[in-house]
Chain A
């Protein structure tokens, strides 16, 4: 199991996977919007999206858990 965490503070702009999707390592899970930039957040490990902890429009802080990959 691996936790995908926000690497900087920002707003969730797009969630690009759904619960139950299988993902590869380095695949983007969400795209944050911060400092007016698109910030893709990828999973380090491959697996299945077990849980999405955020929705589009949410504010996340650095270190917040975005998704759990199993």
Chain B
């Protein structure tokens, strides 16, 4: 055999990955081979691959169970690490870890996005001294992720397990896309939970994709198939620049979708009656441009990326259709991370307010709603990208503050004619102020008295009065909101501000 023939034969063997039986097992679960995943992920295929020959003296560990390299997504170079679960279940040995660390270092040097295609059983216990505790052990992967955070987008596509320490890779990514039925995250497996704490539970219930995307909030997007997850990842990145120094590209400006009902018809007159905020969002953004993040988690607050005339914006909107749009500990957490994500990568923010305030009662106080709410306020307050808040209907109490009210330096605070800004709604306010007086009145006189006081209260918080006091910057016709926003974002594009000078704040986590 010539030298070249030997090289080719070695390359062909390594490219096949692990033993045929593991390929079959994966196929039965609807899992694609790692190289197929990369083919789908990139515009073409992987362009540059390093340490392809890692551990090549051991024929049972092709590439040491991970592919690392660079390819293009939407024309942009990105770094990737992708576990090969046909090789010892995608477990990590010394070279696996070193490869991951090196590709992260490359992402840092080149300032390009870093993607993690995770499908791994975790550490190879037999190799622990070489891969676990040291300076370039697995801990360094997380250290690098934390360092990369906010410098370049970090995306996790979770196709299989990410167990124990490995579960921190998704935890430090900007976004985690999970494939339903196959993806899971957990610190201890169900078998370990049974042995150590006596709990009997299924993997799906404890650490499955659906649970993480709807209950724990560790997952952001639930995909039905691997293809869907990969497609979502490609589309998601189209809203982002390559790194924090740049702005997102303008992509394919489109008109707004046309609907029979316009915005004015959509908003109920009664402030307390629900409507679907998604219908509102779809009437101001470019057609089909909404990319929702954490759809199933805390749905009383909508977060998602969209385009306005081809330009990326991040939307944070109360959803009156769910839990009345009230803010909860989970909705505040969801908002805080999303705001930081957009601010890190120069994506302007849009707050759409229809919020009765933060939830009250024993349950949420015990859950620490005050400190969770503080996270949202802190993230919103610190954001220095162009920031517009729109009072769609009610904005009561701390809800006004959390949704970028006038005190938090939005570039402008707009109101629709249906807006109502107050410490609390008329019903609650009259009750709070006149409780004793109402109790003293004969029962038949009460309704008339309450109604009169509520009317007085409503006049007191009239939106034109607030406009006259210059609390809001403009009152906008609902169906002209898109135009108003497009013009204003264009005007605010040259904004270049630093929040304040310091090492960093002490975050209310």
Contact = CB atoms under 8 A, between A and B. Distances in A.
A31 B356 CA distance: 17
* Max chain A Cβ within 10 angstroms of own Cβ: one of B321, B324, B359, B427: B324
Given A9-B363, A35-B360, A40 B274 contact: yes
Contacts of A36: 272, 356, 425, 427-428
A7 interface: yes
B326 A8 contact: yes
B315 to A, nearest CB: 21
B410 interface: no
Nearest to A32: B324
Interface string A27-47: 000000011111110000000
B325 interface: yes
A37 B272 CA distance: 5
A56 B359 CA distance: 22
B273 interface: yes
A40 B321 contact: yes
A4 to B, nearest CB: 14
B363 A62 contact: yes
Interface in B317-333: 320-326, 328
B361 interface: yes
B272 A7 contact: no
A35 B273 contact: no
B326 A9 contact: no
Which of under 10, 10 to 19, 20 to 34, or 35 or more describes the interface residues of B?
20 to 34
Nearest to A63: B363
Given A40-B274, A40-B321, A35 B326 contact: yes
Contact of B325 (A37, A40, A62): A37
Interface string B407-422: 0000000000000000
A59 B295 CA distance: 28
A8 B360 CA distance: 11
Nearest to A62: B363
A3 to B, nearest CB: 16
B153 interface: no
Contacts of B93: none
A37 B320 contact: yes
B323 A7 contact: yes
A37 B363 contact: no
Nearest to B268: A38
Contacts of B326: 8, 34-35, 37
Contacts of B190: none
A40 B273 CA distance: 9
A9 B363 CA distance: 9
Contacts of A9: 361, 363
A70 B62 CA distance: 52
B83 to A, nearest CB: 34
A35 B356 contact: yes
B268 to A, nearest CB: 10
B357 interface: yes
A14 to B, nearest CB: 12
A38 B356 contact: no
Contacts of B273: 38
B321 A37 contact: no
A35 B322 contact: no
Given A9-B361, A62-B363, A39 B425 contact: no
Nearest to A9: B361
B363 A38 contact: no
B396 to A, nearest CB: 9
A50 to B, nearest CB: 25
Interface in B336-368: 356-357, 359-361, 363
Contact of B272 (A38, A61, A62): A38
Contact of A38 (B324, B425, B427): B324
B36 to A, nearest CB: 34
Contacts of B356: 35-37
Given A7-B322, A7-B323, A40-B321, A35 B274 contact: no
Contacts of A61: 363
B286 to A, nearest CB: 27
B320 A35 contact: no
Interface in B397-447: 425, 427-428
* Max chain B Cβ within 10 angstroms of own Cβ: one of A7, A39, A40, A62: A39
Contacts of A8: 323-324, 326, 328, 359
* Max chain B Cβ within 10 angstroms of own Cβ: one of A8, A9, A36: A36
Contacts of B425: 36
B295 to A, nearest CB: 14
Given A34-B324, A39-B323, A62-B363, 6 more contacts: A7-B322, A9-B361, A35-B326, A35-B360, A36-B356, A37-B272
Interface of A: 7-9, 34-40, 61-62
22 contacts: A7-B322, A8-B323, A8-B328, A8-B359, A9-B361, A9-B363, A34-B323, A34-B324, A34-B326, A35-B324, A35-B356, A36-B272, A36-B356, A36-B425, A36-B427, A36-B428, A37-B272, A37-B326, A38-B273, A38-B324, A39-B323, A61-B363
